[in-house]
Copies of this chain bind each other. A is one copy, B any other.
Amino acid sequence: MSGNTFGRLFAVTNFGESHGPAIGCVIDGCPPGLELSVEDIQPDLDRRRPGTSRYVTQRQEEDKVEILSGVYEGRTSGTPICLLIRNTDQRSKDYSAIARTFRPGHADYTYLQKYGLRDPRGGGRASARLTAPMVAAGAVAKKWLQQKYGTTFRGCMQQIGEVAIPFESWDHVPNNPFFAPVADVSELEAYMDGLRKSGDSIGARIRVTASGMPVGLGQPLFDKLDAQIAYAMMGINAVKGVEIGAGFGSVAQRGSVHGDSLTPQGFASNNAGGVLGGISTGQDLEVSIAIKPTSSILTPRDTIDIEGQPTTVVTKGRHDPCVGIRATPIAEAMLALVVMDMAMEHRAQCGDVLLPLTPIEASRP
């Protein structure tokens, strides 16, 4: 109800502001008995962490996670898991000048209208920094799903600005700062260097998948697996579009092409993106999201101040020129959280999850 809890059975409540003392989350409902330590969580946080290349914000945050509760002698006890990340490199002085101005593309105007006051330090609650606790919670879900069903989650960059990125191999993704599935990222480096010098920013398109999916996850009518995914993805900062499977490409498809044939060896294609009638088919989940360009740019923009008077704003500080880059581990985490919740709901109603009757191969690489 309250907007800051994600999931119902694996319920993650997020708290904190960009420049407050700490951010974190409480995971309620985690199955007991899962071996868990900070080593399971930190690697995903490190993938999302700022300051790791010249293509992302230079804010230095170690993003070290502490487990404050819910783990006893190295295993989850079934009680709430509080994960805490301290903010260490907040520089609120960077933001004092803009407290009275609405930055275009930012939530300044809407927060003030909604709440009657707003925390201008680093975007406050609207900062993408608040995705860090979700990456931490997602790591817990990933571990349980991996152990229980062998489900794994991966994401990669599909497009930055006008530059489409072909899919070569998942192996390349960890080897470049763009999460790009290609061996050679020199074009992307040049593109991003040019962008940075221009003082502007750019959008991106991310692909995220789940493999080894159990069959039967998702709840009709409204809590369809794909509806939950859309909700999770659109809830990530700056996301403006979500596709499942063929997505917008299905508009111009014939039914005879779109509907994935079934064979004794599995589905012959995956236009469905792993979901039929809101329920998982056992194929790979295939999700694609559009991320808008960073709103914090050096280019001067027209706007108004809190008295409604016209003014101009330039957003200095340390910002990602393409927020889409660091969105890959975030989208993976959110997808894992959706699957986790749906797995638990399925178990509640139907008993333990069935594995697919037949080995099903995804049609996309």
Contacts and interface: CB of A to CB of B under 8 A. Distances in A.
A334 B149 CA distance: 34
Given A224-B234, A244-B241, A125 B350 contact: no
Q: What copy number does this chain have within its complex? A: 4
A146 to B, nearest CB: 17
A359 B224 CA distance: 38
A111 to B, nearest CB: 6
Contacts of A28: 2-5, 13, 15
Interface residues of A, number: 153
A351 interface: yes
A56 interface: no
A233 B277 CA distance: 14
Interface stretch (A42-50, A116-124, A177-185): A116-124
Nearest to A244: B240
Interface in A1-50: 1-6, 8-9, 11, 13-17, 20-24, 26, 28-33
Contacts of A80: 2, 4, 13-16
Nearest to A19: B72
Contact of A9 (B1, B254, B301, B310): B1
A215 interface: yes
Given A1-B345, A107-B278, 13 more contacts: A3-B219, A3-B220, A15-B82, A17-B69, A33-B115, A107-B220, A110-B275, A110-B280, A227-B231, A253-B292, A253-B293, A254-B293, A256-B299
Which 6 pairs between the two chains have the least Cβ-Cβ distance? Answer: A107-B277, A3-B219, A105-B259, A201-B255, A104-B259, A110-B279
27 contacts: A9-B345, A15-B70, A16-B68, A17-B77, A22-B69, A32-B349, A33-B115, A72-B119, A105-B276, A107-B220, A110-B215, A113-B356, A114-B216, A114-B350, A162-B252, A202-B254, A203-B250, A223-B235, A230-B231, A234-B242, A240-B248, A240-B250, A241-B242, A258-B292, A261-B301, A262-B303, A348-B348
